[in-house]
Each structure stands twice: as C-alpha cells, then as structure tokens.
Structure 1
Amino acid sequence: MKQGLGTQLRHLIDLLDGAVDAAYGEAGLDYRPRYTPIMRVLAAHGSLTVGRIAELAGITQPAVTQTLALMKADKLVSITASDSDARQRLVSLSKHGVSLLGRLQECWDRTRQAADSLDADLPYPLSQCLREAIEALHKRPFGDRIRAARDLTSDLASDHLESE
C-alpha cells in the first residue's frame, strides 16, 4: 500500500530528527533539535517577543510558546515582561544558553554538511523541493486543496447520479 504524504513526512522527520538528536548526545549536549530555530533567532537578534520569534523563525506562535516552555525548563532562555507592555513577554538566551552556542554551532555546521550531502544524493534537492512546497502552500493552502477535492468529488457524484 502506498504511504500517504503525511505518513512519509512524519517518517522523514523521524529519520532526520533522530540522527540530529543522536549527534547532540554524541557531542555531550542535552539539547533537542526543535530548539534550534529559536536558539538561532535569539542568538542573532537578542531579546524578542514570542510573536517576533515566530515570524523570524518561520514557525507558528503556538509552536514557539510550547518550545519556549521546554527551553525554559532546560534553563536555555529567560522570559520577562516587557517594560513597555506588561502583556508582552520578552525572551532572551540565558547565560547557560549563551554558553552552549559555540558547541551548538559546530553541530549545526555538521548538520548542514549532512543535509548538503543528502541533497547531492537526490535527483532533486530535498531542500529545494521543501522550499517550493512551502511557497506553493502559502499561495494555496492545503485546506483549500482538500475542500476543492471534496467539492470535485461531490460534483462528480452528483453528475453520476444524474446520468443514471
């Protein structure tokens, strides 16, 4: 039986994240791959709001909020109320988070090299395919595509019933 797109994507993520997670362990780091987009943004930009982190990292605000809770428990970030608006939370790397950046950068460089190696082994680079898929879904979201398929199926069923 042919696997669906979601199943294939989950399997691919499991293969990639499992190897990256193991590489962090081999480097002596207690660190989760899902932290990386947020760590990179905070390292580059300093203290930011949750919304700005989501925007710069290219992930959803709920995903950022969930990941920040884990990162705070692991003492990688500090979260404080904004001086200008107490409803806004400012996130910054903790001293511990900053202390890991050098070792993390080494891991990130090796991961980038491994990703380039994977791209080179494929007839069409995975990174390019993913980038194009994301762009296509921004233009026409998957939900719209599902509804269009449902409507087409309904129209075909109606046409079939009318012809009988």
Structure 2
Amino acid sequence: MRQGLGTQLRHLIDLLDGAVSAAYDEAGIDYRPRYTPVMRALEGGQPHTVSQIAEAAGITQPAATQTVALMIKEGLLESSPGVRDARQKVVRLSARGRDLLPQLHLCWQATRAAADSLDGDLPYPLSEALAAAIAALQHQPFGARIRKARAAITKETS
C-alpha cells in the first residue's frame, strides 16, 4: 500500500530532525532544531517582534509564538515591551543565546553540507522539489485541490 503524502513527509521530518537533534547532542549543545529559524532571524543582533520573526524565519505566527516562548523559558531569548507599543513584545537573543552562536554556526555548516550530500544522492535535489511544492501550494492551496478533486469524483460517480 502506498503511503500518503502527509505520512511520507512526517517520516522524512522525523528522520531529518532526529539526526539534527543527535548532532546537537554530540556537540554538547542543549538545543532543539525547531529553534534554528528563530535564532537565524535574531542572530544579527536587532530585536524583532514575534511577527517580524515569523516573517523572517518563514514560519507561521503561532509557530513563532510557541517557539519564542520555549526559547525564553530556556534562557536563549529575552523579551521586553515594545518602544512604540508596550503591548507588543520585542524579542532579542539573551547572553546565553549569543554565546551559543559560534557552536551553532558549526552545526549549521555541517547540516548544510549533509543536506547538499543528500541532494547529490537523489535523482533531483530534495531542496528544489520542496521549494517547487511550496510555490505550487502558494499558487493553489492543497485544500482547494482537495475540493476540486472531490467535485470531479462526485461528478464522475453521479
């Protein structure tokens, strides 16, 4: 039986994230792969709102909010009220987060090299296939595709 697309993607993410987590452990770093987009967004030193982090990191606002909260709890980030709007939270790397960056850069370089190696072993680069899939889904979301397919199936069976 052929696995569904969601099942295959979850399995692929498990394989990738598991290996990246193990690499952080092997490097002696207490760090989760899901933190990387936020760290990358903030590594320049400028504070960002959660919305700015989400946009820069290419993740959803809820994912950014959840990840930022975890990272604050673990001491990697700190937050303060916004200058123009005190209701808005401004986030920056903590001293611990800044101190971790050199080790993280080494891990990120190794991860990038491993990803390039994987791309080289495939008939077409996974990174390009994923980028193309994301672009296609931005053009026509998967939900719209499901509704269109359901309408066609319903029409065929009527």
Give me the TM-score of the superposition, normalised by structure 1.
Answer: 0.94
Aligned to 1:83: 83
Structure 2: give runs of 5+ residues left out of the alignment: none
What is the percentage of aligned positions where both structures have the same residue? 61
- Secondary structure of 2:145's aligned partner: helix
Query: Deviations for 1:41-78, whole angstroms, at most 9, x for unmatched residues?
Result: 10035200111111111100000011111111110001
Aligned-CA RMSD value: 0.8
Q: Is the contact between residue 75 and residue 97 of structure 2 (CA under 8 Å) also seen in structure 1? A: yes
Which SS does the other structure have where 2:147 is aligned?
helix
Equivalents in 2 of 1:137, 1:29: separation in Å? 35
TM-score (norm 2): 0.98
Residue correspondence of structure 1 range 1-164 to structure 2 within 5 A: 1-44=1-44, 46-158=46-158
Q: What SS does the aligned partner of 1:44 have?
A: coil
Residue 88 of structure 2 aligns to which amino acid in structure 1? Answer: Q
Residue 59 of structure 1 aligns with an amino acid whose one-letter code is I
Q: Which has the larger radius of gyration?
A: 1
Moved over 2 A (4+): none
Cα displacement (A) at 1:149: 1.0
Question: In structure 2, how many angstroms separate the alpha carbons of the residues matched to 1:157 and 1:103?
Answer: 59
Counterpart Cα distance in 2 of 1:45 and 1:122 = 37
The CA distance in 2 between the partners of 1:133 and 1:71, in whole Å, is 30
Q: Which amino acid aligns with 2:27?
A: A
Distance, in Å, in 2 between the alignment partners of 1:78 and 1:108 is 23
Number of aligned positions between the proteins? 158
Taking the aligned partners of 1:123 and 1:66, their CA distance within structure 2 comes to 36
